[in-house]
């Protein structure tokens, strides 16, 4: 089971006593915000109470250890320090002091980073108090949070700040966890926008919203809408990654995605809304209605997201489907009539005479009809189709050929083919 870990930095003070609270409700009168925060945290977790297996790390310099750990130096007198005060509370664990440098230079700052990171275990649940994280430490802790998420698979459950300077009698313990949440969602959105991966978005939805929807019995409308959007976005991207041509053209999944996007005007964190708008803007090149040209848009999307084999496959099948519709051949024809289009291109770029055509007699008339199409007189189009065929063969045989293409050449060829087909075919009307 994951360990709960409270992390806080203790300054040298001096600290005055005040009453800390949440939403105006007092929690504890103390000189140490760490104690008020721990009292709050250990009392709110209904899923699993804090146990002796959990821990609280207090990071402190030599001066803060001398001034505030055992003895708490205040204005003109000495009182019990943080450790002594904590022993008066009913905590299931003792506070563990960890010495850190003063951070006077870059070397010491990195030593602080490594010291804090070394206390974090695989899969820990982290609770940060950043009240006394002076100067550069808030930034350092935010970097450390992302670092630990990546390397140690930790979960950040809480980031709090005790606002001692607030004029109210009850000083608020502010919940800043949304900062970490925003980082997670920004990273996940960036993964989608950079390479088309929705895995992190799906994972976050399950992690963040499944418990909420379970507790509210599906009543949290905002969570439900965002989860629905991400689910549909995943379905659409999976169609492209697995080259589901008919689904891409029919656009049923995309229509559902567009509808869910239109309903989702605001997300759970205001700062995430502009990022969400970037995701929505990435959808504009697709028609939510059935459209053969969605195949070209999908090929472009795959190329831009580094899915080069899928891009080449979808692009060539889009071209074949385009000519099928143009010559009244069903694009999902199982009787190999689609092969007529491929044969027409081969005849053109190999300049074969009719007696050399390799085709069944009953399909010869349809092949002649296709070859009479003026578009087959476009040498750039015919050449692009041959190039695309070579790329697909190279992919399908993993480059196990006498003269395999180099990666940069594969990408360049796909890009050139996309441009060639888009220029020639995209604006032609199909009845």
State the pLDDT at residue 210.
61
Instruction: State the number of CA atoms in the 13 A half-sphere of 101 facing the CB.
Output: 13
Comparing CA positions, the residue from 112, 272, 258 lying closest to residue 187 is 272
Query: What is the rounded CA–CA span in Å between residue 309 and residue 322?
Result: 20
Report pLDDT for 90. Answer: 87
The pTM assigned to this predicted structure is 0.83
Q: What is the pLDDT of residue 254?
A: 93
Report how far residue 100's alpha carbon sits from residue 102's, in angstroms, rounded to the nearest whole number: 7
Q: What's the confidence (pLDDT) of residue 83?
A: 95
- Residue whose pair of structure tokens reads 């965002």 in the numeric block: 226
d(CA 243, CA 245): 6
Return d(Cα 33, Cα 19) in angstroms, integer: 9
Q: Which CATH number fits domain 4-175: 1.10.580.10, 3.40.50.10640, 3.90.950.20, 2.30.130.10?
A: 3.40.50.10640
SS3 348: helix
pLDDT of residue 279: 86
- What would the pLDDT profile of 313-349 be if each residue is shown by its tens digit? 999 999 999 999 999 999 987 777 899 999 999 999 9
Cβ neighbours for 132, distance < 8 A, ≥ 6 positions apart? 8, 9, 10, 11, 33
Pick the closest to residue 159 from 176, 171, 143 (CA basis). Answer: 176
Helices and strands in the chain, H and E counts: 17, 10
| pLDDT, position 282 | 84
DSSP-assigned letters across all residues of 64-113: HHHHHTSEEEETTEEEE-HHHHHHTS--SS-EEEEE-----SHHHHHHHH
Low-confidence ranges of the chain (pLDDT < 50): 46, 431
Q: By the 8 A CB rule, do 113 and 101 touch?
A: no
Q: What is the pLDDT of residue 84?
A: 95
Residue 223 is inside which H or E element, if any?
helix 221-241
The residues, any chain, with a CB within 8 Å of residue 320's CB and separated by 6 or more, are: 331, 338, 341, 342
How many Å apart are CA 357 and CA 208, to the nearest integer? 61
Sequence spans of domains, the chain: 4-175, 177-290, 292-431
Angstrom distance (rounded) from CA 37 to CA 43? 10
């Amino acid at each position: 089971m994951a360990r709960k870990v409270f992390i806080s930095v203790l300054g040298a003070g001096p600290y005055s006593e005040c009453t800390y609270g949440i939403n105006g409700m007092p929690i504890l009168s103390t000189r140490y915000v760490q104690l008020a925060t721990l009292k709050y945290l250990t009392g709110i977790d209904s899923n699993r109470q804090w146990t002796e297996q959990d821990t609280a790390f207090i990071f402190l310099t030599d001066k803060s250890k001398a001034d505030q750990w055992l003895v708490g130096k205040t204005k003109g007198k000495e009182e019990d320090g943080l450790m002594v005060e904590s022993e008066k509370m009913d905590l299931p664990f003792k506070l563990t002091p960890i010495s850190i440098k003063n951070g006077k230079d870059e070397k010491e700052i990195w030593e602080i980073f490594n010291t804090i990171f070394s206390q974090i275990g695989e899969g820990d649940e982290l609770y940060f108090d950043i009240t006394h994280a002076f100067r550069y430490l808030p930034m350092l802790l935010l970097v450390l949070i992302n670092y630990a998420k990546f390397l140690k698979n930790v979960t950040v459950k809480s980031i709090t700040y005790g606002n001692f300077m607030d004029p109210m009698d009850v000083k608020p313990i502010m919940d800043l966890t949304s900062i970490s949440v925003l980082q997670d969602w920004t990273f996940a959105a960036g993964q989608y926008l950079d390479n088309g991966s929705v895995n992190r978005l799906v994972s976050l939805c399950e992690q963040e919203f499944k418990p909420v929807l379970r507790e509210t019995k599906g009543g949290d409308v905002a969570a439900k809408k965002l989860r629905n959007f991400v689910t549909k976005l995943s379905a659409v991207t999976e169609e492209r990654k697995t080259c589901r041509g008919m689904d891409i053209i029919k656009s049923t999944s995309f229509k559902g995605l567009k509808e869910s996007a239109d309903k989702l005007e605001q997300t759970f964190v205001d700062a995430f809304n502009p990022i969400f708008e970037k995701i929505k803007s990435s959808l504009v090149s697709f028609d939510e209605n059935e459209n053969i040209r969605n195949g070209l848009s999908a090929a472009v999307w795959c190329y831009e997201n580094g899915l080069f084999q899928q891009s080449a496959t979808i692009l060539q099948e889009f071209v074949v489907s385009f000519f099928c519709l143009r010559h009244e051949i069903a694009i999902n024809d199982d009787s190999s009539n689609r092969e007529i289009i491929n044969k027409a291109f081969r005849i053109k770029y190999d300049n074969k005479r009719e007696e050399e055509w390799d085709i069944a007699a009953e399909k010869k008339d349809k092949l002649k009809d296709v070859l009479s199409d003026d578009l087959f007189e476009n040498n750039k189009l015919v050449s692009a189709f041959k190039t695309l065929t070579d790329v697909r063969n190279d992919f399908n045989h993993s480059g196990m050929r006498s003269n395999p293409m180099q990666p940069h050449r594969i990408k360049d060829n796909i890009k050139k083919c996309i441009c060639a087909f888009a220029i020639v075919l995209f604006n032609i009307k199909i009845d």
